[in-house]
Amino acid sequence: MIVKDESEHLNTCLESVKNYVNEIIIVDTGSTDNTIKIAKTHGAAVYEYTWTNDFAAARNFALSKSTSEWNLILDADEQITNWDKDKVNKLLQNDHFIGKINIKSNFKQNNEERYSQIYISRLLPKGAYYSGKIHEQVMSKLTRVELPIDVFHTGYFQTDKSERNLKILKEDLSNNPRNAYILYQLARQYKTMNLYQKAAHFFRESYQAADRSEGYFTDLVVNYIYTLIELKQYYPAFEMIDQMNVPLGNSPDYQFVCGIFYMNFVLSDTAKNIDFLPLIERSYLICLALGKQNEREIVLGTASFLAAYNLGVYYEMFNQKEKAKEFYEISAAYHYLPAKSRLLTL
């Protein structure tokens, strides 16, 4: 771990992981609170490190202090929620892979608390290392394997690291001007700040440079479309959807944003665009079908309660109350409060 002033989170993190690891390596980059004291109460080896605006360098310094054959990387605002010890230990008998763990995060969207999930390379064999000043990535040609390890991350919830992130991302981009991943992260940062023109520019640059096999590609496309919707740039969004219907057709998040797009497009000029109305319904029905096929969501609910709720709204709008009630009930079964509220009014 690399930490600084994490006394609020560190104890919870270390309590969650202590039964699964043999040693704890903490690299502190200048804490002035009780971070180091808390780390030492958990038996951690603590090393001081001068921060240089380079997360990969700090990660690699921490890895250099480990005596273990395998290394789990965590941040202080993360905690282990599930770890299948038997399955993980069996897999670790083979050292020819990089382990990906499922990281679930909460964030604010439409004045609601929502959750996302993504598998990230975090369990590394000795010798693997990081590259990238921020949103650092593991540099290895080894196969990536998903492990039965779940982590809950609170770092995106009501916190603002924009100034720090932008500074480092811009530095990184100046050294790698055509790096699709840096461009994508810069675009996401601007979108988080509601600077949609800048976000669209960098999403477009990233999209043009990206390898479609990269794990972040679906999220890139989905967030690019959301950004174009915010800017009311419907025809570039149409072009994107036309290109992505086949390669991303099995992504609930992609189908969900298509539903959002068609709704906004129809409402922008109802008389002119009314023929696209059925595509709203179609998109959300595909979301639910993909959910039944267990296709993985990035944002939780796009293949279940969020899609069902939006269908309920769609049917209610056309006074199809029985259909609206049916889909609100599907959504409410997931304890989605807006769906429960709509049911009370029908």
Percentage with pLDDT > 70 across the chain: 99
Q: Based on the fold, state whether residues 32 and 100 are members of the same structural domain.
A: yes
- Burial of residue 195 (CB within 10 Å: 0-12, 13-18, 19+) is middle
Whether 33 and 5 have beta carbons less than 8 Å apart is answered as yes
- Mean pLDDT estimate for the chain: 96
Question: Do 169 and 114 have their domain in common?
Answer: no
Please state, as a whole number, how many other Cβ atoms lie within 10 Å of the Cβ of residue 305.
23
- Co-location of 20 and 141 in the same domain: yes
Taking the chain, what is the end-to-end CA distance rounded to the nearest angstrom?
51
Q: Are residues 185 and 332 in the same domain?
A: yes
Domain final residue, candidates 153, 185, 200 = 153
**Which among 100, 135, 153 is the end of a domain?**
153
Cα of 147 vs its chain's centroid, Å: 17
Pair of tokens at residue 169: 């991302």
pLDDT at 158 > cutoff 80: no
The answer on pLDDT for 101 being more than 80 is yes
Q: What's the confidence (pLDDT) of residue 107? A: 87
Residues 167 and 124 in one domain: no
Q: Identify whether residues 321 and 194 lie together within a single domain.
A: yes
Over 90: is that where the pLDDT of 163 sits? no
In this prediction, residue 110 carries a pLDDT of 80
Q: How confident is the model at residue 157 (pLDDT cuts 50, 70, 90)?
A: low
273: domain CATH number is 1.25.40.10
CATH number at residue 31: 3.90.550.10
Task: Tell me: do 94 and 203 sit in the same domain.
Answer: no
Mean pLDDT within 103-126: 93
Has residue 160 got a pLDDT over 80? no
Statement to judge: residues 38 and 63 lie in one domain: yes
**Do 29 and 48 belong to one domain?**
yes
Out of 123, 153, 183, pick the residue that ends a domain. Answer: 153
Q: Are residues 135 and 185 in the same domain?
A: no
- What pTM, to 2 d.p., does this model score? 0.93
Q: Does residue 48 have a pLDDT over 90? A: yes
If pLDDT is split at 50, 70 and 90, which confidence band does 161 have? confident
Name the band, by pLDDT with cuts 50, 70 and 90, for residue 187. very high
What is the SS3 string spanning the chain? CEECCCCCCHHHHHHHHCCCCCCCEEEECCCCCCHHHHHHHCCCEEEECCCCCCHHHHHHHHHHCCCCCEEECCCCCEEEEEECHHHHHHHCCCCCEEEEEEEEEEEEECCEEEEEEEEEEEEEECCCEEECCCCCEEECCCEEEEEEEEEEECCCCCCCCHHHHHHHHHHHHHHCCCCHHHHHHHHHHHHHCCCHHHHHHHHHHHHHHCCCCCCCHHHHHHHHHHHHHHCCCHHHHHHHHHHHCCCCCCCHHHHHHHHHHHHHHHHHCHHHHHHHHHHHHHHHHHHHHHHHCCCCCCECCCCCHHHHHHHHHHHHHCCCHHHHHHHHHHHHCCCCHHHHHHHHHC
User: Cα separation of 74 and 36, whole Å?
Assistant: 16
Structure tokens at 29: 């980059």
Same domain, 44 and 143: yes
Q: Which domain holds residue 215?
A: 162-345
C-alpha torsion angle, residues 160, 161, 167, 172 (rounded to 10): -130
In the structure encoding, which two tokens stand for residue 276, read together? 């696209």
Rounded Cα gap, residues 118 and 133, in angstroms:
21
Give the CA radius of gyration of the chain.
22
Both 111 and 188 in a single domain? no
Tokens found for residue 206? 């990233």
Pick from 190, 243, 239, 238: nearest CA to 217: 243
Number of folded domains that form the chain: 2
| Residue 2, pLDDT above cutoff 90 | yes
Virtual torsion, Cα 223, 217, 131, 68, nearest 10 deg: 110
How far is Cα of residue 346 from the mean position of the Cα atoms in its chain?
A: 35
In the numeric block, which tokens belong to residue 200?
A: 């669209």
What integer pLDDT is reported at residue 95 of this predicted model?
76
What value does the mean pLDDT take over residues 46-65?
97
- Would you state the pLDDT for residue 35? 98
Higher pLDDT, 158 or 101: 101
